[in-house]
């Protein structure tokens, strides 16, 4: 996995998540993003990705 692209992508996801939580907190809750982030990290660290 390309670590530089991964870091840039995670930063972009985080920045967009903050925008969405602030602009529509009923639909995009912090808890929803927490679940998403945990699943994403589990998926990417499980070896199911390829280089």
What tens digit of pLDDT does each residue of 1-51 get? 788 998 999 899 899 999 999 999 999 999 998 999 899 888 878 765 555
Q: Which of 2, 36, 1, 46 is nearest to 16 (CA)?
A: 36
DSSP H helices, the chain, are: 3-23, 30-45
Residue 5, pLDDT score = 92
Residue 51, pLDDT score = 52
Residue 3, pLDDT score = 87
Range of the domain at 41: 3-45
Q: Which two tokens stand for residue 21?
A: 């939580």
How many domains does the chain fold into? 1
Residue 29 within any structural domain of the chain: yes
Residue 51 within any structural domain of the chain: no
Residue 43, pLDDT score = 84
Q: Which two tokens stand for residue 10?
A: 């995670």
């Amino acid at each position: 996995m390309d670590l530089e692209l991964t870091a840039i992508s995670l930063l972009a996801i985080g920045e967009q998540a903050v925008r969405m939580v602030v602009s529509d907190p009923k639909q995009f809750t912090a808890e929803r993003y927490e679940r998403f982030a945990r699943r994403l990290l589990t998926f990417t660290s499980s070896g199911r990705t390829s280089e």
